[in-house]
Structure 1
Amino acid sequence: MASPKACVQCGKCLDVCPLFKVTGREELTPRAKFFLDGLDSSDGLNEKDFKTLAGLCLGCGRCEENCPQNMSGPKLVSALRSKSKGFTQTCWDLWLSSPGFIWPLAAALSKFSPESLPEPIGSAKKRMGSLFAKSPAPWAKLVPDLKFDDQKVMLFKGCVGSFARKDWARKAEHFMDGLGLVRAAESDFACCGSSYGSAGLLDRQVKSRKFNIDVWKASECPLLIIFCTTCLKGLKEYSLDDFDGNEELLEKWQSALTPLSSLLVDCDITILENRPEQVIYHKPCHAPVPDFDLQLVENMAGDRLLPVQKDLCCGFGGIMQIGAPDLSKQVGDYCAEALTKNVSAGAQILTGCSACVIQLATLTKDDFFTGHWLDILE
């Protein structure tokens, strides 16, 4: 695969690549990937090398933001993965396509997995416990003062909100009702497509996007409320091809995408007595600008919010949970340690990304609760 633009090997991607930051291995950087991708097969890059290369990217997207050529490591790796499908992709496809059956089954089986086994089996019990975790006692109450006049909406619950943390979806619907929003229909959406795309499962991604667009159109194109940062990122990436060239419909879709936190950030807040002494906000790699999740947590935590570290990646990496779990854990451990260094037990880590919640809840000590900001709301 030839890159659409030439990498000038400036190294700016090294400044922001989480894999390089944690491991110091330049062969894992976007610069190395673009260099190898430009080689001819006669230069020694065989199919096995490509498959190895294709599995080593967290998909954070920081490189594209920092690249003077606007080149994207995740897009390159997605294309490489799509051409080198194997057992790893089959497992990931199964995980995403049958969450209602596979996830509870995996959670039940994980209870018997010894922690002494290699990744991803070693952390399976805690990871699945994190996926199906229960919220702690709430310590904040929001009373919306913004009212909409018969504005029709749909809730995009995401895979985790639909099949594991249904309490997040229930709380989101509660706040939507409090805002006077009219739910157009039951939100029976598919995966946003982001995880399919990063894994190179591009046919699956296209089908998910088409399905979601059809569901939205059938409800007369209402506002689409989202509470997961990665879902928001995935939905924003829908292209003109997904809308069969209809620019007006694509623009309407983009305008409809609404973070739930953007509607709650100006709510009246009542803080309960059990608010923790220290609150940590983990800023996801895909956090939008402005980051309304952060603004909402700031409003709730007040002076108990610790300084936000904006350059940390949780290391989840989607398909890397199967393809390169040790690397994923290495980056995640670095993130968890940085977030909790010199922090007292009992502090809470809040974020707005489902994947970040699962990863950090798996890797942090039991002294800390890690969850979505919805978790702490009454």
Structure 2
Amino acid sequence: MTELAYQETLSCVQCGYCLPTCPTYISFKKETHSPRGRINLVKMAAEGKITYEDMEEAINLCLGCRACETACPTNVQYGKILESAIDAIAKNKAHQLKSRVNLVKSFLFNTVVPSNNIRQVLGTGLALYQKLGLQKVAHKTGVLNILPENLHAFEAILPKVEGPLKRAKRQMVYVPEQTKNSVTVGFFVGCIMDTMFSSINTLSMKLLQRAGCHVTVIKEQGCCGALHQHSGYSDTTKALAKKNIEAFEKYEFDYIVNSIGGCGAMLTEYPHLFLDDADWLKRAQNFTAKSVDISVLLSQLSLSYSKQLNYRITYQPSCHMTNVQNRVNEPLQLIKSIPGITFNALPEAHMCCGSAGIYNIVNYTHSMKIMDEKMRHVKELTVQPDVIVTTNPGCHLQMKLGVEREDLQKEIKVVHIVELLAEACGIEA
């Protein structure tokens, strides 16, 4: 069991500082669902005292938000411990008889998500489903009731997906009006992001253009590998990382920019994948040095607002933006810079919303318990917000579902920070 990050578990002194920061511990009230509990399980598994199966449930129900790392006084590398456990469990299962679920997951992660062609087909199908009125028919007839509760819930809050013609018309290069001393940006579009939220990517590039950036979308880029890494497909993750590193290092960009909190975290952690390979480690470090969230770059540049937004706003940060990328202030600065807005800080904003990649799909019931706690905090605000701002597509959908569950969809809108900034700048997709 040497593949487990055993040495890292020894740094944990079981003090409990992590407990108040852990959404699963707060929601489920079990020691095994706390960071220190999971660390102890990994330690015992590495020592041969328990099996991988004994720690599997606790590991699977971890959100991977890594808020515990920010509270830890001994700097325990919880992320490394968690990833080693996920990887070890996945490899152990691979040696066993393959179940139907494992085969489906393998097909999804190794074939569907990395394939741009397949994602385009799926995106086109969703766009037609919405534009031809099939979604309305499905809702009226109740045919979707045959779906499991988790899929039925998220189908109801699908964003408006752009059709293939509009996506095809999107520019590959955005040139600023003033090209002298402009910042060069290679834009990372992501996979799920560019399928489900392609309009946000378009708005992102137009905002960067407005702020004086020369923006380019390169065709060679692919999936970041975050979903694969969090599901134990480490070999696929490395292959995807190498593809992106090779793609972007062919160009002389000042920055590699994304508008996806979760993907951005994965991009910044590429060097961790190659600690045993000096050449790729150096290349990954060069890549990561240029990789930033759009809020980071826009906060350093100047945006010209053309519209006053008289909104009451609260903000739900992405865990991976906060705890992995360590970017807390930049989104807040941008939100507060918009003329006309009234900002109210969300109680316990650092707590995960329960999205966590595909956690809210595969652990739907547990995710909704965490989500309900998050919405309780929204309702605790002295003044109810008109808008909840997010920085990640997963958080976006999760918060939207939370609003729906509370029947507040007519009072509260959920938007990505890029959509809010674009509206204030008078920019349309």
**TM over 0.5: same fold?**
yes
Counterpart of 1:315 in structure 2 is 354
CA distance in 1 between partners of 2:79 and 2:125 (Å): 31
Q: Is the Cα contact below 8 Å between 1:168 and 1:374 reproduced in 2?
A: yes
CA distance in 2 between partners of 1:294 and 1:147 (Å): 29
- SS in structure 2 of the partner of residue 121 of structure 1: helix
Counterpart of 2:414 in structure 1 is 370
> CA 1:124 to 1:248, structure 2 compared with 1: closer, same or farther past 3 Å?
closer
Counterpart of 1:348 in structure 2 is 387
How far apart are 1:333 and its partner, in Å?
A: 2.0
Amino acid in structure 2 at the alignment position of 1:126 = A
Counterpart of 1:124 in structure 2 is 154
Counterpart of 2:291 in structure 1 is 257
- SS in structure 2 of the partner of residue 57 of structure 1: coil
How far apart are 1:68 and its partner, in Å?
A: 3.3
CA distance in 2 between partners of 1:95 and 1:314 (Å): 26
> CA 1:115 to 1:64, structure 2 compared with 1: closer, same or farther past 3 Å?
farther
> CA 1:59 to 1:303, structure 2 compared with 1: closer, same or farther past 3 Å?
same
| TM-score in terms of structure 2 length | 0.74
Amino acid in structure 1 at the alignment position of 2:414 = T
CA distance in 1 between partners of 2:219 and 2:337 (Å): 29
Amino acid in structure 2 at the alignment position of 1:90 = S
> CA 1:349 to 1:10, structure 2 compared with 1: closer, same or farther past 3 Å?
same
- SS in structure 1 of the partner of residue 415 of structure 2: strand
Alignment of 1:117-156 (within 5 A): 119-127=149-157, 129-130=158-159, 132=161, 149-156=181-188
The structure 1 residue matched to 2:333, chosen from 285, 290, 295, is: 295
Deviations 1:127-155 (A, max 9, x none): 4x147499xxxxxxxxx999762543211
Deviations 1:240-275 (A, max 9, x none): 6649524654443233123322343353553636x3
Q: Which runs of 5+ in 2 are unaligned?
A: 91-98, 164-175
Q: Is the Cα contact below 8 Å between 1:193 and 1:208 reproduced in 2?
A: yes
Q: Which runs of 5+ in 1 are unaligned?
A: 135-143
More divergent stretch after superposition (364-373 vs 106-115): 106-115
CA distance in 2 between partners of 1:208 and 1:146 (Å): 35
Q: Is the Cα contact below 8 Å between 1:148 and 1:181 reproduced in 2?
A: no
Counterpart of 1:306 in structure 2 is 344
The structure 1 residue matched to 2:269, chosen from 237, 240, 246, is: 237
- SS in structure 2 of the partner of residue 318 of structure 1: coil
Query: Whose helix proportion is higher, 1 or 2?
Result: 2
Q: Is the Cα contact below 8 Å between 1:61 and 1:72 reproduced in 2?
A: no
| Matched residues, number | 367
Counterpart of 2:113 in structure 1 is 96
- SS in structure 1 of the partner of residue 187 of structure 2: strand
Q: Is the Cα contact below 8 Å between 1:276 and 1:346 reproduced in 2?
A: no
CA distance in 1 between partners of 2:414 and 2:22 (Å): 24
Deviations 1:327-355 (A, max 9, x none): 11211221123124356677111121221
How far apart are 1:91 and its partner, in Å?
A: 6.5
Amino acid in structure 1 at the alignment position of 2:119 = P
Alignment of 1:128-277 (within 5 A): 129-130=158-159, 132=161, 149-239=181-271, 242=274, 244-246=277-279, 249-265=283-299, 267-270=302-305, 272=307, 275-277=309-311
CA distance in 2 between partners of 1:72 and 1:239 (Å): 15
How far apart are 1:305 and its partner, in Å?
A: 0.9
Q: Is the Cα contact below 8 Å between 2:226 and 2:266 reproduced in 1?
A: yes
CA distance in 1 between partners of 2:200 and 2:261 (Å): 14
> CA 1:373 to 1:184, structure 2 compared with 1: closer, same or farther past 3 Å?
closer
CA distance in 1 between partners of 2:260 and 2:244 (Å): 16
Q: Is the Cα contact below 8 Å between 2:32 and 2:38 reproduced in 1?
A: yes
Counterpart of 2:87 in structure 1 is 82
CA distance in 2 between partners of 1:303 and 1:322 (Å): 34
The structure 2 residue matched to 1:285, chosen from 306, 319, 322, is: 319
Percent identical: 20
How far apart are 1:357 and its partner, in Å?
A: 0.6
CA distance in 1 between partners of 2:352 and 2:392 (Å): 12
> CA 1:99 to 1:73, structure 2 compared with 1: closer, same or farther past 3 Å?
farther
> CA 1:45 to 1:308, structure 2 compared with 1: closer, same or farther past 3 Å?
same
CA distance in 2 between partners of 1:271 and 1:241 (Å): 44
CA distance in 2 between partners of 1:271 and 1:280 (Å): 22
Deviations 1:187-224 (A, max 9, x none): 54222222221121111211111111011012245421
Counterpart of 1:52 in structure 2 is 57
Amino acid in structure 2 at the alignment position of 1:315 = G
> CA 1:301 to 1:153, structure 2 compared with 1: closer, same or farther past 3 Å?
same
Q: Is the Cα contact below 8 Å between 2:187 and 2:216 reproduced in 1?
A: no
RMSD: 3.4
Q: Is the Cα contact below 8 Å between 1:216 and 1:222 reproduced in 2?
A: no
| TM-score in terms of structure 1 length | 0.83
Counterpart of 1:139 in structure 2 is none
Q: Is the Cα contact below 8 Å between 2:67 and 2:350 reproduced in 1?
A: no
Counterpart of 2:172 in structure 1 is none
CA distance in 1 between partners of 2:65 and 2:230 (Å): 10
- SS in structure 2 of the partner of residue 239 of structure 1: helix
User: Does 2:12 correspond to 1:12?
Assistant: no
CA distance in 2 between partners of 1:213 and 1:40 (Å): 35
Counterpart of 2:39 in structure 1 is 34
Counterpart of 1:137 in structure 2 is none
Q: Per chain length, whose mean CA-contact separation is higher, i.e. which structure has more relative contact order (CA < 8 Å, sep 6+)? A: 1
Amino acid in structure 1 at the alignment position of 2:390 = T
Q: Is the Cα contact below 8 Å between 1:227 and 1:352 reproduced in 2?
A: yes
> CA 1:91 to 1:122, structure 2 compared with 1: closer, same or farther past 3 Å?
farther
More divergent stretch after superposition (227-236 vs 340-349): 340-349
